[in-house]
Structure 1
Amino acid sequence: MVARVPGITYSSVAWRVLADLAEQGSARVSELAAQQRVAQPTMTALVNRLAGEGWVDRSPDPEDGRATLVVITPAGEEALNNYRHSMAERIVPLLVELSEQDRRALDRAAEIMLGLSEQV
C-alpha cells in the first residue's frame, strides 16, 4: 500500500521509519534497514529521499566516526502527524460502521498485536 501526503507519495516503510525515529530519537541506517527488513542500500536510498524532503537529518555517530545517525526533523514530525491524521480520517468512518462485536474483536486483536510487537 502506498500512503499519500498531498503531492508526495511514500511507501508504508517510509512512514514506519519516520515513526521509529520519532520514538527512538536516532538510529543508524543499518539499524533502520534491519528493523524494516530491507537491504541497507534500499534504506540508504530511502533516507536520502527523506533527507531531500527535509524530514530527516544525518550526523556522524559519536561512537563510530564511520557510521551515520539519522534523526527525524520537526518537518518530518509534521509530515508524520499529517499522514497519521489523513489515515485516521479515512478509517474512522469505516470503524463507526462496525458492530459492537466487531469493534471488541478489533480491540482484542490490537492488544494481541501490541503484545507480540513488544516481544520482537
Structure 2
Amino acid sequence: MSRKHSADDPAALQAAVAGFVRAFGLHQTETTPCGQPISVSEAHAMGELAQDGELRQVELTRRRRLQKSTVSRLVGQLTGRGWVERAQAEDDGRGVVLRLTPAGRQAAQNLAEARRERFARLLDSIPAHERAGVLHAFDVMREAWDGDR
C-alpha cells in the first residue's frame, strides 16, 4: 500500500484495483491476460458456452452482466469468427440459442488451456502461506461490489 493512503482511504482501494488491472493486462482490450488474441468479453462468453453446450442469448447477457446490445455485438463478433452459431429457441420463437461450432469448441479448448497454464504460473508465484488470503480477498471484493449495486 502506498504511503500516501491509509487502508480506510477509498483512493487506496482505487489505486490497488487500477494497479491490478494494469498488471493483469485487463486494460488491453484485444487480448486476454493469458495472451490469447481475443477480447476478455469474448473469452468469457466462449467459456460459458463451452461449459453449458448452449445458452440462450438472454442468459449469456445475465451471466456476463452486460447490456443486451453489448452481447448482441459480442455474439456477432464470435459468429463472424466462425466460433458461434445462433438458432431460434424451440420453445420460444423470439428466443435465440447460442452454440459453439466445432471451430468454436477448439478455440474454447485452446483458451481454457492457456488460462490454466497462466493461472498455474501465477499461483506458483504467490507464496503458499498467502494463497488462501489472496483468494479470500477476491471473494470479499466481489461480494462488496455486488452489494454496492
TM-score, normalised with respect to structure 1: 0.73
Q: 1:24 to 1:94 in 2, by over 3 A?
A: closer
Partner SS state of residue 66, structure 1: coil
| Among 93, 96, 105, the residue aligned to 1:77 | 105
Note if contact 2:47-2:112 (Cα within 8 Å) is conserved in structure 1: no
- The percentage of counterpart residues that share the same residue type is 28
Greater RCO (CA < 8 Å, at least 6 residues apart) = 1
| Residue 25 of structure 1, aligned match among 53, 56, 67 | 53
The count of residues paired between Structure 1 and Structure 2 equals 109
Q: Structure 1 residue 41: deviation in Å?
A: 1.0
Give the counterpart letter for 1:9 in structure 2.
Answer: I
Task: Tell me which residue corresponds to 1:37.
Answer: 65
Structure with a larger share of its residues in strand: 1
SS, match of residue 64 in structure 1 = coil
**Alpha-carbon distance, 1:104 to partner:** 4.4
Q: Structure 2: which 5+ residue stretches go unaligned?
A: 1-25, 144-149
- SS of equivalent to 1:109: helix
Q: Does 1:9 align with 2:46?
A: no
Match of 1:109 among 136, 139, 146: 136
- Of 40-49 and 66-75, more deviation after overlay is shown by 66-75
Higher-Rg structure is: 2
2:87 matches 1:59: yes
- Report the equivalent of 2:115: 87
The verdict on how the C-alpha distance between 1:82 and 1:101 changes in structure 2, with shifts beyond 3 A counting, is same
CA distance in 1, matches of 2:132, 2:68: 40
Superposed CA offset, 1:62-104 (max 9, x none):
0012222101122222212222322343343343233220234
Query: Which is further off, 18-27 or 90-99?
Result: 90-99
Q: TM-score, normalised by structure 2?
A: 0.61
Q: Which amino acid counterpart does residue 51 of structure 2 have in structure 1?
A: E
Task: Answer yes or no: is 1:96 the counterpart of 2:119.
Answer: no
